[in-house]
Copies of this chain bind each other. A is one copy, B any other.
């Protein structure tokens, strides 16, 4: 099987000193390109109102809004190419079902808005169409305690393109699991966002060194264009 690889250089944010990149790249040999396989799927992680719209306490603000626009471009292309398309979302839970989230404070912010069903609704710009699967989850990774790996096996797919919110949280946890399940994992840079700029940048770097190809959206669109429908 011939693997298509992006020629984009490794994602190195300016915050990372060259002493660190030397350890990862020069000494460790990491950060190579994994490449695309032949059967990709698209997974949009937690692109829900509570993480996008500013009125919610866990919003990513402007970064989230911009990200949605870029996901939409990718989604339209993926639909045209008939990729299997998946979404994940959380939903409000209490007691044991909420697990350790409230113990760390997440979601227990002063306003109770994050506990509404609305907070966990996928934003209308990229609303799922009939036949596209929405996975409800309650932990960071879209694989944890869900049917996701079974769903991906059904096709089966070999490459998972991951977008969404937030980079250092549910996106990263999902990417680590996707890598562990031996998929080729692709993260289009413009299609993920976070609340914190440093966490965002450093998670992109960490993922590109070890778990996924963190590359420009343009390279992903170009790969999809070359796929036979």
Q: How far is the CB of A146 from chain B (nearest CB, A)?
A: 6
In the complex, chain B residues whose CB is within 8 Å of the CB of A39: 156
Q: Does A104 contact B (CB under 8 A)?
A: yes
In the complex, chain B residues whose CB is within 8 Å of the CB of A150: 99, 138-139, 145, 180-182
Q: How far is the CB of A109 from chain B (nearest CB, A)?
A: 4
Binds B, one of A74-82, A191-199, A221-229: A191-199
Q: For residues 151 through 176 of chain A, which have their beta carbon under 8 Å from a beta carbon of chain B? A: 151, 153-158, 168-169, 173, 176
Are B140 and A184 in contact, CB atoms less than 8 angstroms apart? no
Are A34 and B147 in contact, CB atoms less than 8 angstroms apart? no
Interface code A132-145, partner B: CB below 8 Å = 1, 0 otherwise?
01000011110011
Q: How far is the CB of A194 from chain B (nearest CB, A)?
A: 9
16 sample A-B contacts, Cβ–Cβ < 8 Å, listed by A number? A28-B109, A84-B96, A97-B133, A97-B147, A99-B179, A99-B182, A100-B179, A104-B210, A104-B211, A138-B150, A144-B180, A145-B148, A145-B149, A145-B180, A202-B203, A203-B206
